[in-house]
Amino acid sequence: GENVEQHPSTLSVQEGDSAVIKCTYSDSASNYFPWYKQELGKRPQLIIDIRSNVGEKKDQRIAVTLNKTAKHFSLHITETQPEDSAVYFCAANNYGQNFVFGPGTRLSVLP
């Protein structure tokens, strides 16, 4: 089955800097890769996703890139703000039947 690794596990950046979180997956048949943000005590919420027929997708300060050959995808947050502080999870679908999540990255944006 699918295996998703995520790095780093913790990330601290200064406000205004960029943050990058990387995930790798094992199943070459995976074709959908969402990213979720989870604030303390809250539910995960989708922030951006990408499908396998696209190499990059951007939504304001957030972007995701996908390299199918290398089986990795990355989340890029530019001009970070304190409200970006949260745990971020990547995920990949497993033969289209279910999702496998990475272990998460705790992002701290320091004022």
Partner 1 sequence: NAGVTQTPKFQVLKTGQSMTLQCAQDMNHEYMSWYRQDPGMGLRLIHYSVGAGITDQGEVPNGYNVSRSTTEDFPLRLLSAAPSQTSVYFCASNGNNKANSPLHFGNGTRLTVT
Q: Which residues bind partner 1 (CB under 8 A)?
A: 1, 6, 9, 31-32, 34, 36, 42-46, 49, 51, 89, 91, 93-94, 96-104
Measured CA distances, 1 to 59, 92, 96, 98, 101 (Å): 31, 11, 11, 10, 12
What pairing do the DSSP bridges indicate for beta strands 4-7 and 45-51?
A: unpaired
- Quote the least distance from Cβ 78 to partner 1, whole Å: 22
H or E segment at 46? strand 45-51
- Which CB sits closer to partner 1, 19 or 88? 88
- Quote the least distance from Cβ 14 to partner 1, whole Å: 25
Q: What is the dihedral of CA 33, 99, 4, 67, to 10 degrees?
A: -20
- Quote the least distance from Cβ 6 to partner 1, whole Å: 8
- Which CB sits closer to partner 1, 11 or 49? 49
- Which CB sits closer to partner 1, 35 or 109? 35
